Amino acid sequence: MEKEIRRALISVFHKDGLADILALLHQAGVEFVSTGGTSSFIESLGYPCVAVEDLTKYPSMLGGRVKTLHPAIQGGILARRSHATDQQEVAEYGLSLIDLVIVDLYPFEATVASGASEEDIIEKIDIGGISLIRGAAKNFEDVVIIPSQADYATLYDILKAQGAKTSLEQRRHFARRAFAVSSGYDAAIFRYFDAEDSSALRLTADHGKVLRYGENPHQKGVFYGDLGRYFTQLHGKELSYNNLQDIEAAVALVQDFSEPTFAILKHNNACGCASRPTLLEAWTAALAGDPVSAFGGVLVANRPIDLATAREIDKLFMEVLVAPAYEEGALEVLQSKKNRILLEQHQPIESSWSYRSMLGGVLAQETDRAVETKAEMKPVTKVVPTEGELEDLVFATKLVKHSKSNAIVLAKGGQLIASGVGQTSRVDALEQAIEKARHFGFELQGAVLASDAFFPFDDCVTLAAEAGITAIAQPGGSVRDADSIAAADAHGIAMVMTGVRHFKH
């Protein structure tokens, strides 16, 4: 059902884009009703405006906390045009019907993010605006609600195309948007008050993007979030569900490294990774770790991609490359394949919590931010690691943290030489890693091992020593830790315990 807009209530914080809307509404003969600063803005454009106070017969009070909370305003919004009793009361109390409400809520989240005082934050909890939004959305059959600046452009297009009239479908669309805005706003306020108590879970996300499909073509997939906050896509096809999972795993991994580092991931696990003085050296060493699995992988670097590195990368078929920047000429080389996805990362991913749907509910946990340093590698054996072994143990521990459990990582000289991931036993994980390292021609003598969890028995220690591995890092905590330490001493190899487990299921 088409409805004509005759009167509009406007109370906004952001005014960019509003002038063009006001011009179209004024041309259509729409009457404006407004508050304070918005009223002054409307009048500065040369349009007459009725003050809210003229309808309520009350001034703005309590420091602006009470302006539109009045039956003269709420009644004009909520009155149902098709209900005889509602219209009788409209006439009895002299209410002015309002057909369009444009509101832009106080910037609560931005105020919190700015580090403002609690007093300032509390004053940015919008009361009148949220009431206007909910009231207008509830009465969408008769009223248009524009709940945020993000909706100005849509309203402008409607007014430009069809004048000051809207369809029921359009009003229902805006009502849906209104409840998305109000629910997100309330959730942000709750999270502020709840802080770290985690008494309830209130997650909201805008910008839902339908993907080509989920993990498999028969599954629907949607991404809710703002990729533009972290990345600019410079080239390539649209990102898929699996691309996004691998990108998060890749970025989380490389963020733990400060030295020039390149990593190659498949199915959320690193199949190649190396730290070197230059990015080209890091790429070459990372690719050598498993050139077979690297095919079709997701690549990530923590330094800008230079031209020489780009030329080498271009020789490999890969899905995605993520880097903080691309130097002159590098981008042109990498854009030679039309579907190759190139992402420029603006800032680190800093989510403090991670979430996973489970059993019809949600599991939530703090993000694993632990990164063990040399100082946290506590020797427990007669032989202590050399300085080079310690550096490799730190490197390997960073990698095993980001590998699917049960996980074992073998490293040497700042290079991932093999890993065993996602295994049902730690012995299986180690055997897989040893076999893989030998398959690609790596010399295990002098290599180090990192385990994501403790050794329940001494079998892994013995197997590692027999393969030539000379130093082991594990969290410790098993009732049989003494057996593993004794086995290491018997084979003359070093073992350190970190006290930190890195399970990743």
- Active site members: 138, 267
Structure tokens at 139: 């009465």
φ and ψ at residue 64, rounded to 5 degrees: 90, 0
Place of tokens 């220690």: 461
SS3 452: coil
Report how far residue 440's alpha carbon sits from residue 287's, in angstroms, rounded to the nearest whole number: 11
Structure tokens at 190: 């709750």
Are 131 and 161 in contact by the 8 Å Cβ rule? The answer is: no
H runs (alpha helix) in 45-107: 52-56, 71-78, 84-93
Are 68 and 131 in contact by the 8 Å Cβ rule? The answer is: yes
Three-state DSSP string of 191-209: HHHHCCCCCCCCCCCCCCE
Q: Say which amino acid occupies 194.
A: D
Burial (Cβ within 10 Å: 0-12, 13-18, ≥19) of residue 137: buried
DSSP at 344: E
Report how far residue 429's alpha carbon sits from residue 445's, in angstroms, rounded to the nearest whole number: 19
Report how far residue 410's alpha carbon sits from residue 408's, in angstroms, rounded to the nearest whole number: 7
